[in-house]
Amino acid sequence: MRLQYKTVVITGGANGIGAVAAKLFGKNGAQIAIVDFDKKAGEAKAQQLHELGIEAAFFQADVSDSENVKEMATKVIEQFGKVDILINNAGITKDAMMLKLEVDDFKRVIDVNLTGVFNCTQAFLPTMLSQGKGKIINTSSIAGTGGNIGQTNYAAAKAGVIGMTRTWAKEFGRQGINVNAVAPGFIETDMIDTIPEKILGQIKMMTPYTRLGTPEDVANAYLFLASDESDFINGTVLEVDGGMLK
């Protein structure tokens, strides 16, 4: 029960890593606000958590739309009265080699993966500041720390997430808010469905653990950074990649 009585907002909480994290956080005593634009999966996830005795609610929002995010944040605060932890986990890919990358696909990935993190943080930060304590965890990627072929847009957004993380750690640390990032390697979710088996095999061979990561691997890192155990950790990027060779 490392998060007893804490209110956690998790974006992209309807599927993949976010959904696994929502359950793990709930099992650790937190109340969960699942934010996602996938209404069907988000409602189903909230219902599953209820059935496990976890207090959870679904809030539909597109994180790239600042007005939509403000409305969502108002509803979350109305329902739960506070927010202790924000996990900026929602993300998409639209991969293409640099010369073939359409500008719309460049912009959409920046809008969701970078501006989305900005929008949600700006919407929830005032409440955290008024509480004098809060934790923000941003999801970056090893593509953001090291680049990745075919991911100009995604790598730019995820590197930007690290820049914002370190900036906010400096801006808000004195006010009791710590801000950290997690940089997952290749994790078994729908997001990597488009990667051919052959490439996945090569990725495993580049990983000392010779396997892909699981959503649980990342959720456990979120849990540590969300818990009081990480109170003196601020502005860091925690790599969850099995020690993948870069």
Q: How far is the CB of 240 from ligand NAI (least distance, A)?
A: 9
Q: What is the torsional sign of CA 179, 185, 187, 192?
A: positive
Residues 222-241 that bind ligand NAI (CB under 6 A): none
Q: Does 89 bind ligand NAI (CB under 6 A)?
A: yes
Tokens of 25: 């956080």
With contacts defined by CB under 6 A, how many residues of the chain interact with ligand NAI? 28
Residues 109-168 that bind ligand NAI (CB under 6 A): 112, 116, 139, 141
Q: How far is the CB of 55 from ligand NAI (least distance, A)?
A: 20
Establish whether 209 is a catalytic residue: no
Q: How far is the CB of 134 from ligand NAI (least distance, A)?
A: 20
Q: How far is the CB of 70 from ligand NAI (least distance, A)?
A: 14
How far apart are alpha carbons 62 and 230 in whole angstroms? Answer: 29
Taking the least distance from each CB to ligand NAI, the nearer of 5 and 124 is 124
Contact stretch for ligand NAI (CB under 6 A) within 75-83, 120-128, 184-192, 221-229: 184-192
Output phi, psi for 8, to 5 deg: -115, 130
Angle between helices 66-80 and 116-131 (to 10 degrees): 30
Q: What is the DSSP string of 47-93?
A: HHHHHTT--EEEEE--TT-HHHHHHHHHHHHHHHS--SEEEE-----
Residues 15-74 that bind ligand NAI (CB under 6 A): 15-18, 36-38, 62-64
Residue reference for tokens 């460049």: 106
Residues whose CB falls within 8 Å of the CB of residue 117, separated by 6 or more in sequence, listed in order? 63, 88, 138, 161, 164
Taking the least distance from each CB to ligand NAI, the nearer of 41 and 129 is 41
What is the signed CA dihedral for 241, 243, 244, 245, rounded to 10 degrees?
150
Q: How far is the CB of 184 from ligand NAI (least distance, A)?
A: 4
| Pair 51, 61: CB distance under 8 Å | no
Taking the least distance from each CB to ligand NAI, the nearer of 200 and 231 is 200
Active-site hit among 5, 154, 209, 222: 154
Q: What is the torsional sign of CA 211, 214, 218, 220?
A: negative
Q: Which positions are annotated as active-site residues?
A: 154
Footprint on this chain of ligand NAI (rule: CB under 6 A): 11-12, 14-18, 36-38, 62-64, 89-92, 112, 116, 139, 141, 184, 186-187, 189-192
